[in-house]
A and B are shown apart, each in its own frame.
Chain A
């Protein structure tokens, strides 16, 4: 059953359509959930940094939310959203929220007060302060949060297979339930490769996005 560790390559070669379908579902789940996560979490973090009253409840909800296992989130959503791609996407978006939100919040809050005072002294408005000072200075930390969320969701997206959401988890669960090593690895290896290459690629991208003045000097 597990005699040939590379039998999964054969499976992929013999079933390219199935494999590509699972891979594309997996990538869609990850990308869309991180995208929605950014769209929701970054404004929430800005709001929390502006309205002191909201900071505690929002960080509290985010932290507690993250301690609920992803599988439980999927289960809890079934009564409301049913099964399939949609509830899986919602669950993954919830999972993406915490690292992005907390990093963005901490990033904005840890901008040096002296810098803020200097900017205010130069007459910047609230909006300008955010756009031209706080967000650029916080960008390395915000981006690190997005990176964490993306890599994490590549792994968590395998759980969509429990609720008919598709993705590479389908192959993993099929392989596990039949002790078929080829199927199992045809799902697991691409997930690992996807996670590692994404981590590396986003690391590269971060160097481009971070303002020049904040880039580490030397290698």
Chain B
């Protein structure tokens, strides 16, 4: 039998390419530079989820720990599901999680809208189920938000999500695949607001803004602290029925690490209440459109924070004030 000689050659070529890519990934996933470490302090492995905001705040945590003399290794784990598994299995000591994500995606609990209640719920559940401690929230609430082009929203007279009723069937919805799969994502949203879009498309996070700016889609789900919402001329629709749970970011740390060195909690809690929504959106934009590195943006912020701290010591209020959460009403 004459096989498929050329097909095999092509397969080999593909395999070769894959090997190169995998090898390249291995290199870039390697450890970040290590500062002078004290030998008696434990090494801390931080996980990150691979999107701009998370990379910035993980850098902040890493640099604070390094400044305090800890050796820090950072691992990029792409998404919530994987980084959570890594935390539970001990391959990661700590990472920064969002309260709403922990509540719905990790714990599979029903959606709640009160920020303090959500924080208390996840804090208790993580302590009992995973032996993981929630530290103090950083201050901002990166909730989901529906956004659309300003001119189209004005033309249709849409300012809140319930205004979409009766208009959605002529509109194209597009968002990340994660938004389609989450319990607090599209299916629940459509149910709550009784909406039905003309078309629904899942796509890579990297092209969502381009797609909406270029009219390929009309309505998208974005992170409320994503600076590109504003820089791309989009407007956020008010979640008037309070569907989206609050997503306040806070470090989650394995108890065994905190037992070994309780000072780690103090170091990370220096960030408590330091970043409001607007600040986070600005920091994100510096990376997403300003072309700066998350590491440098984090450093600049920490330096600023240190200066402010020298002037007036911060009050570490746990979950942010209502003023810091423009979306979750």
Contact in complex: A166, B13 (CB < 8 Å): no
Query: A164-199: which residues lie under 8 A (CB-CB) from chain B?
Result: 164, 166, 170, 173-180, 183
Q: Which residues from A are CB-within-8-Å of B1?
A: 216
Given A147-B4, A174-B178, A178-B181, A69-B203 contact (CB < 8 Å): no
Q: Is the CB of B6 within 8 A of A183?
A: no
Q: Chain B 67-84, CB within 8 Å of chain A: the 1/0 string?
A: 000000000000111101
What is the distance, in angstroms, from B86's C-beta to the closest C-beta of chain A?
12
Asked if A176 and B5 sit within 8 Å, CB to CB, the answer is no
Q: Which of A98, A175, A180 contacts B10 (CB 8 A)?
A: A98
Contact A140 B2, beta carbon cutoff 8 Å: yes
Cβ 8 A contact of B181, one of A67, A83, A174: A174
Do B105 and A145 have beta carbons less than 8 Å apart? no
Binary interface profile of A, 53-97, with partner B (CB < 8 Å = 1, else 0)? 000000000010011110000000010001110000000000000
Interface positions, chain B 187-209, Cβ under 8 Å from A, are 201-204, 207
In the bound complex, how far is the Cα of B81 from the Cα of A163, in angstroms?
Answer: 22
B85 in contact (CB, < 8 A): yes
Is A148 close to B, CB under 8 A?
yes
Q: State whether B202 touches A161 (Cβ < 8 A).
A: yes
Interface status of B167 (Cβ within 8 A of chain A): no
In the bound complex, do residue B4 and residue A145 qualify as a contact, i.e. CB atoms below 8 Å apart? yes
The size class of the interface chain B forms with chain A is 35 or more
- Complex-state Cα separation, A170 to B1, whole angstroms: 38
Task: State which of B26-34, B210-218, B240-248 sits at the interface with chain A.
Answer: B210-218
Q: A78-B207, A164-B201, A173-B177 are in contact. Are A178 and B216 (CB under 8 A)?
A: no
Q: Which of B7, B17, B180 contacts A170 (CB 8 A)?
A: B180
State which residues 102-119 of A face B: CB under 8 Å. 102-103, 106
Q: How far is the CA of A183 from the CA of B217 in the complex (A)?
A: 24
A176, B81: Cβ atoms closer than 8 Å: yes
Q: Is A36 an interface residue (CB 8 A)?
A: no
A-B contact count (CB 8 A): 112
Known contacts A173-B177, A178-B105, A84 near B216 by CB under 8 Å: yes
Give the CA-CA distance A177 to B214 in the complex, in Å: 26
- Is the Cβ of B3 less than 8 Å from the Cβ of A175? no
Contact A177 B176 (CB under 8 A): yes
A34 at the interface (CB under 8 A from B): no
Q: Is B300 an interface residue (CB 8 A)?
A: no
Q: How far is the CB of B62 from chain A (nearest CB, A)?
A: 24
**CA separation between A162 and B177, bound complex, in Å?**
8
A82 and B176 in contact, given A148-B4, A148-B10 (Cβ under 8 angstroms): no
Inter-chain contact B81/A106, CB cutoff 8 Å: no
Smallest CB–CB gap between A82 and chain B, Å? 5
The one of B13, B180, B210 that contacts A78, using a Cβ cutoff of 8 Å: B210
The residue that A83 contacts in the complex, of B2, B10, B82, B201, with Cβ under 8 A, is B201
In the assembled complex, the Cα of A69 lies from the Cα of B21 at a distance in Å of 9
A180: which B residues are within 8 A, CB to CB? 181
In the assembly, what is the distance between CA of A102 and CA of B79, in Å? 39
Q: Does A37 contact B (CB under 8 A)?
A: no
Indicate which residue in A103, A163, A175 contacts B203 across the interface (CB closer than 8 Å): A163
Give chain B nearest CB distance to A68 CB in angstroms: 8
- Contact present for B13 and A66 (CB under 8 Å): yes
The 10 closest A-B pairs by CB, nearest first: A179-B81, A174-B181, A164-B201, A177-B178, A173-B177, A148-B7, A102-B6, A144-B4, A164-B203, A162-B204
Ordered by A's residue number, 12 sampled pairs between the chains whose C-beta atoms are within 8 Å are A69-B18, A83-B201, A83-B216, A140-B2, A141-B2, A144-B2, A148-B4, A174-B177, A177-B177, A177-B182, A178-B81, A180-B181
